[in-house]
Structure 1
Amino acid sequence: SGMWAHSMTVQDYQDLIDRGWRRSGKYVYKPIMNQTCCPQYTIRCQALRFQTSKSHKKVLKKMLKFISKGDVSKVVSEEEPMDSHIEDVVPSDFAYKSESQVSQTELTPLNEDHAEGVENDDKDKVETKEEVNVKKVESGSLQIPVDKDAAGPGEPSHSSKAVHAPPKPGKGADLSKPPCRKAKDIRKERKLQKLLQNQMGTLEGSPLQAGQQALLSQNSKTPTNQPKSIEDFIFVSLPDDAPHKLEVRLVPVSFEDPQFKSSFNQSATLFAKYQMAIHKDTPSECGENEFTRFLCDSPLEAENPPNGPECGYGSFHQQYWLDGKIIAVGVIDILPYCVSSVYLYYDPDYSFLSLGVYSALREIAFTRKLHEKAPDLCFYYMGFYIHSCPKMRYKGQYRPSDLLCPETYVWTPIEQCLPLLELSKYSRFNQDTKAVDEGRVKELGRVRVLHKRTIMPYSVYKKRRKGPSDEASVQQYASLVGQTCSERMLLFRS
């Protein structure tokens, strides 16, 4: 089902997409889910709780490397060379360490009473100690533990060379060797140990209570690494001599806006290039008129309330400028509760930068930024999720995300929806069998109608209408848009 929307408030459209609607230009449509061959479920990402996946981080790092280094060959490679310099020690940079990795200076000292209690509890236990010498292999930096008792008669307990046999086939890793560790982690641990030793050294000779020593030791311990946020990957300071410059501009979709007007031709040309290369359109199918009708015409009325985001609400083009030219444009709607992604087109020459994924991540970060000024705006809508089409499942990779129940219009975590979709391409996600559509039409007579330039409720229009009844079509319209929207929007009747 669909309808032409000549004008619409952002709240109207917000309520419509929360009932499964979506727009293309000024045409607003809603799939009939239980009849279509490929059910399309509205999907939204919880932007405030979003966590970048490993593949997302690769895309963000790839863009950062391209901008800062400009070497395409390095960008394409997935190798992550280790840093060759020693970094400054930052407490949050250290990972959790097991007991065998904790140095004596990091251990919290026990008070005397506690220590005596431990000794009494363990007095009957037999302690065994193994003395291990660590030898360095001449051919590398690998360290191998050598047991003193393993030396043969007459042989010295310390050998200048540590000879190790390769692991036997099928036996897996050699457990007699220490596990491999990253050089970066080893450097950080050594730096931490030096800092702790210096701290303890400066306190020697001064009387400290056991409790104070314990507090010092606890404060010296570093917390576990916190996962990097999406902003940590995007908003990074670049060197002044970076070979490329990327700028993201938010432009209102309006020919009265000077930025939109001045960049229109370049943006339209890029759209045609993208459509012909990616979707195999003919030049006549992606000209300026088609571009305008598809991605520039919008029924949304721009609003700029005092409690809203600084840019206001409405339709926008988010332009990605690389070295002075547009390489991608994300078409978005900024609504009271979300940023809704409409379309993306980009320069195929820069497809190696994974601009589809990169722009989605930028739009999620943009949603989080808008939330700072508009607290209700905290979701990123990605359009439709089509589980029956494997190529369209990628939207489910942005977690956490929810799918809209096609019958009760409540949001359900995607993890609960996927098992149901594996069984049937159409599914009601709300498992409460008694739940109904709370926004359903209860009073058809209250639907607002525009008839002969006069606004009236449907109950009045019904009496004035001449000819056959159109109650069935009005009933269908009201059931699809819901009671609230049907009382705010105007249904045109000739």
Structure 2
Amino acid sequence: MSLSGPMRLYLTGTHPCGYFDDREARDLVLDPADPRLPRAYPSALAQGYRRSGAHVYRPHCRQCRACVPVRVPVAAFAPDRAQRRCLARNADIAMTDCAPGHTGERFALYERYLAARHAGGGMDAPAPEDFDGFLAGTWSPTRFYEFRLDGRLVAVAVTDVARDALSAVYTFFEPTLAARGLGTLAILRQILHARGTGRGHLYLGFWIAGHPKMDYKRRYRPLEALIDGTWRALDPGKEG
């Protein structure tokens, strides 16, 4: 099947914002039925879109522009002191590039993570099909980077792999090992992997200045933000 012309773009209805309780959100979504979507995905990342399951979207809210797409230019990235300590503290953890999808071991870790981090939030009683539907798109170029400590699975970084970039989709990890900073480790290792494989960027999704769950992305510097259609260096101390 071949198609000509631009890809269809859908605007969702309003729905509760996932970041602010007092706001509503809308999204622009690329046509999930278009067979060109896998080919279009890398350029969509560069236009500020993100994948969730089979859908590629970006926020398009009426009166809010808090969600800012961000990415790390990996060649220029320099870990700060805390990040260097995180890497050293976890030197005994091995990262392996694995095929995506549901396994009993991964799902058990996912359940523990959601129960500890998102209790009562609607995600803490997942089914196996929820796992695959959310993380492993049927068409997406997804890899699961497994992190193991003495053979035990302690974290999984769900990552989409484009020719010139990686996109960090989601990370879940062992909640009893909070002191190790496994979420930070996953991002740092993805940055190093992108650099080592000759890719230019690691996309981190959306940054929200000052938000308790989203502002952490400002720690990975230098950081680029898509502002008014242009990627530019972001100085978080002067934004928002």
Give the TM-score taking structure 1 as reference length. Answer: 0.40
Residue 115 of structure 2 is aligned to residue 288 of structure 1: no
Amino acid at match of 1:248: M
User: Pick from 247, 265, 285: which aligns with 2:94?
Assistant: 247
Deviations 1:312-368, CA, capped at 9 Å, x for gaps? xx2110011222221100000111221100000011111111001011110001001
Q: Is the 8 A contact 1:22 1:29 kept in 2?
A: yes
Residues 404 and 38 (structure 1 numbering): CA distance in 2 closer, same or farther, change over 3 Å?
Answer: closer
Distance (Å, rounded) in 2 between the aligned partners of 1:331 and 1:250: 10
Q: Is the 8 A contact 1:10 1:336 kept in 2?
A: no
- Alignment-derived partner of residue 392 in structure 1: 214
Residue 185 of structure 2 is aligned to residue 358 of structure 1: yes
- Alignment-derived partner of residue 51 in structure 1: 78
- Alignment-derived partner of residue 50 in structure 2: 22
Amino acid at match of 1:334: V
Q: Is the 8 A contact 2:72 2:201 kept in 1?
A: yes
Deviations 1:135-163, CA, capped at 9 Å, x for gaps? xxxxxxxxxxxxxxxxxxxxxxxxxxxxx
User: Pick from 101, 114, 121: which aligns with 1:275?
Assistant: 114
C-alpha RMSD of matched pairs (Å): 2.2
- The alpha carbon displacement at 1:297 in A equals 2.4
Distance (Å, rounded) in 1 between the aligned partners of 2:87 and 2:81: 10
5+ long unaligned stretches in structure 1:
68-245, 254-259, 301-313, 372-376, 423-494
**Paired residues, number:** 211
- The alpha carbon displacement at 1:298 in A equals 3.9
Distance (Å, rounded) in 2 between the aligned partners of 1:388 and 1:351: 22
Q: Is the 8 A contact 2:207 2:215 kept in 1?
A: yes
- The alpha carbon displacement at 1:285 in A equals 3.4
- The alpha carbon displacement at 1:283 in A equals 7.9
- Point out the structure with the larger strand share: 2
Distance (Å, rounded) in 1 between the aligned partners of 2:213 and 2:123: 26
Deviations 1:382-429, CA, capped at 9 Å, x for gaps? 111111524421111111111002x3x2111102x753x43xxxxxxx
- The alpha carbon displacement at 1:61 in A equals 2.1
Distance (Å, rounded) in 2 between the aligned partners of 1:53 and 1:63: 16
5+ long unaligned stretches in structure 2:
1-27
Q: Is the 8 A contact 1:272 1:287 kept in 2?
A: no
Deviations 1:254-292, CA, capped at 9 Å, x for gaps? xxxxxx67xx11111111111111111568731211111
- Alignment-derived partner of residue 485 in structure 1: none
Distance (Å, rounded) in 1 between the aligned partners of 2:87 and 2:48: 31
Alignment of 1:415-434 (within 5 A): 415=235, 419=238, 421-422=239-240
Q: Is the 8 A contact 1:11 1:335 kept in 2?
A: no
- The alpha carbon displacement at 1:11 in A equals 4.1
Give the TM-score taking structure 2 as reference length. Answer: 0.80
User: Pick from 152, 156, 160: which aligns with 1:325?
Assistant: 152
SS in 1 for 2:79: coil
- The alpha carbon displacement at 1:37 in A equals 3.8
Residues 266 and 27 (structure 1 numbering): CA distance in 2 closer, same or farther, change over 3 Å?
Answer: same
- Point out the structure with the larger helix share: 1
Structure of higher CA gyration radius:
1
- The alpha carbon displacement at 1:62 in A equals 1.8
Residues 378 and 325 (structure 1 numbering): CA distance in 2 closer, same or farther, change over 3 Å?
Answer: same
Residue 240 of structure 2 is aligned to residue 401 of structure 1: no
Instruction: Give the share of equivalent positions with the same residue, in percent.
Output: 24
Amino acid at match of 2:135: L
Alignment of 1:143-222 (within 5 A): none
